[in-house]
Amino acid sequence: MKKYLNLFDFTQKVNYQTEVLSGLTVALALVPEAVAFALIAGLSPLTGLYSAFVMGIVAAVFGGRPGMISGATGAVAVVIVSLAISHGKEYVFAAVILAGIIQALAGFFKLGKLMRLVPHPVIFGFDICSDH
Protein backbone atom coordinates (compact mmCIF):
# COMPACT_ATOMS: atom_id res chain seq x y z
CA MET A 1 0.00 0.00 0.00
CA LYS A 2 1.38 3.41 -0.97
CA LYS A 3 1.63 6.31 1.44
CA TYR A 4 0.41 9.58 0.03
CA LEU A 5 1.66 12.99 1.06
CA ASN A 6 -0.92 14.61 3.32
CA LEU A 7 -0.06 18.28 3.85
CA PHE A 8 -3.01 19.01 6.09
CA ASP A 9 -3.66 16.28 8.65
CA PHE A 10 -7.03 17.09 10.23
CA THR A 11 -7.27 13.91 12.29
CA GLN A 12 -5.50 15.37 15.33
CA LYS A 13 -7.74 16.49 18.21
CA VAL A 14 -7.26 20.13 19.10
CA ASN A 15 -7.95 21.88 22.38
CA TYR A 16 -8.61 25.38 21.08
CA GLN A 17 -8.51 27.04 24.50
CA THR A 18 -5.00 25.73 25.15
CA GLU A 19 -3.85 26.55 21.63
CA VAL A 20 -5.11 30.14 21.75
CA LEU A 21 -3.66 30.74 25.22
CA SER A 22 -0.26 29.36 24.23
CA GLY A 23 -0.33 31.35 21.00
CA LEU A 24 -1.02 34.58 22.88
CA THR A 25 1.76 33.82 25.37
CA VAL A 26 4.29 33.22 22.62
CA ALA A 27 3.09 36.32 20.73
CA LEU A 28 3.56 38.54 23.77
CA ALA A 29 7.04 37.14 24.36
CA LEU A 30 7.90 37.51 20.68
CA VAL A 31 7.18 41.26 20.46
CA PRO A 32 10.23 42.53 22.41
CA GLU A 33 12.38 39.81 20.87
CA ALA A 34 11.38 40.80 17.32
CA VAL A 35 12.02 44.49 18.01
CA ALA A 36 15.40 43.76 19.61
CA PHE A 37 16.59 41.52 16.78
CA ALA A 38 15.50 44.09 14.20
CA LEU A 39 17.50 46.77 16.01
CA ILE A 40 20.52 44.45 16.21
CA ALA A 41 20.26 43.83 12.46
CA GLY A 42 20.11 47.57 11.81
CA LEU A 43 16.50 47.47 10.59
CA SER A 44 13.47 49.40 11.83
CA PRO A 45 11.52 47.92 14.76
CA LEU A 46 8.42 47.82 12.56
CA THR A 47 10.24 45.44 10.22
CA GLY A 48 10.83 43.10 13.14
CA LEU A 49 7.17 43.20 14.13
CA TYR A 50 5.99 42.54 10.58
CA SER A 51 8.39 39.65 10.16
CA ALA A 52 7.34 38.11 13.49
CA PHE A 53 3.68 38.35 12.47
CA VAL A 54 4.27 36.76 9.07
CA MET A 55 6.40 34.01 10.60
CA GLY A 56 3.67 33.28 13.14
CA ILE A 57 1.03 33.03 10.44
CA VAL A 58 3.18 30.72 8.32
CA ALA A 59 3.98 28.51 11.34
CA ALA A 60 0.28 28.32 12.22
CA VAL A 61 -0.82 27.44 8.69
CA PHE A 62 1.83 24.84 7.98
CA GLY A 63 1.79 23.48 11.51
CA GLY A 64 4.48 21.87 13.51
CA ARG A 65 4.63 19.76 16.61
CA PRO A 66 3.03 20.30 20.00
CA GLY A 67 5.32 22.37 22.19
CA MET A 68 7.28 23.79 19.27
CA ILE A 69 7.88 27.53 19.31
CA SER A 70 8.85 29.38 16.15
CA GLY A 71 10.94 32.48 16.59
CA ALA A 72 14.08 34.29 15.57
CA THR A 73 17.46 33.68 17.14
CA GLY A 74 20.34 35.99 17.98
CA ALA A 75 22.57 34.14 15.53
CA VAL A 76 20.23 34.99 12.66
CA ALA A 77 20.26 38.66 13.66
CA VAL A 78 24.06 38.71 13.55
CA VAL A 79 24.08 37.17 10.06
CA ILE A 80 21.39 39.58 8.87
CA VAL A 81 23.34 42.62 10.12
CA SER A 82 26.40 41.58 8.10
CA LEU A 83 24.18 41.02 5.04
CA ALA A 84 22.52 44.43 5.47
CA ILE A 85 25.89 46.16 5.83
CA SER A 86 27.59 44.42 2.90
CA HIS A 87 24.74 44.35 0.35
CA GLY A 88 22.12 46.76 1.66
CA LYS A 89 18.83 46.39 3.48
CA GLU A 90 16.90 45.50 0.33
CA TYR A 91 18.66 42.11 0.16
CA VAL A 92 17.42 41.07 3.60
CA PHE A 93 13.92 40.27 2.32
CA ALA A 94 15.24 38.15 -0.53
CA ALA A 95 17.59 36.26 1.81
CA VAL A 96 14.79 35.51 4.27
CA ILE A 97 12.46 34.28 1.50
CA LEU A 98 15.24 32.08 0.10
CA ALA A 99 15.93 30.64 3.57
CA GLY A 100 12.22 29.85 3.94
CA ILE A 101 12.15 28.09 0.58
CA ILE A 102 15.20 26.02 1.53
CA GLN A 103 13.55 25.04 4.83
CA ALA A 104 10.32 24.10 3.06
CA LEU A 105 12.22 21.95 0.58
CA ALA A 106 14.12 20.26 3.42
CA GLY A 107 10.81 19.45 5.07
CA PHE A 108 9.22 18.27 1.83
CA PHE A 109 12.11 15.91 1.12
CA LYS A 110 12.17 14.75 4.78
CA LEU A 111 15.76 15.78 5.40
CA GLY A 112 15.20 16.11 9.16
CA LYS A 113 16.71 12.67 9.64
CA LEU A 114 20.08 14.21 8.72
CA MET A 115 20.06 15.89 12.16
CA ARG A 116 21.42 12.59 13.47
CA LEU A 117 24.73 13.58 11.89
CA VAL A 118 25.01 16.71 14.05
CA PRO A 119 26.86 16.02 17.33
CA HIS A 120 24.87 16.38 20.54
CA PRO A 121 27.05 19.19 21.99
CA VAL A 122 26.21 21.29 18.93
CA ILE A 123 22.49 20.61 19.32
CA PHE A 124 22.51 21.47 23.02
CA GLY A 125 24.58 24.62 22.58
CA PHE A 126 27.86 23.28 23.91
CA ASP A 127 26.44 23.06 27.48
CA ILE A 128 28.01 19.63 27.83
CA CYS A 129 31.49 20.93 26.97
CA SER A 130 31.32 24.00 29.22
CA ASP A 131 32.20 22.01 32.39
CA HIS A 132 35.81 21.47 31.29
Confidence of residue 63 (pLDDT cuts 50, 70, 90): low
Q: Collapsing DSSP states into helix, strand and coil, what is residue 39? A: helix
Mean pLDDT, the chain, integer: 76
Q: Which of 2-11, 56-65, 99-108 has the highest mean pLDDT?
A: 99-108
What pTM does this model have?
0.60
Quote the CA–CA distance of 27 and 97 in Å, as a whole number.
21
As a whole number, mean pLDDT of residues 72-100 equals 82
Residue 72 pLDDT: 67
| DSSP string covering 49-113 | HHHHHHHHHHHHHH---TT------HHHHHHHHHHHHHH-THHHHHHHHHHHHHHHHHHHTTGGG
Which of 12-26, 76-90, 97-111 is predicted with the least confidence, judged by mean pLDDT?
12-26
Segment 51-62, tens digit of pLDDT: 888 877 777 777
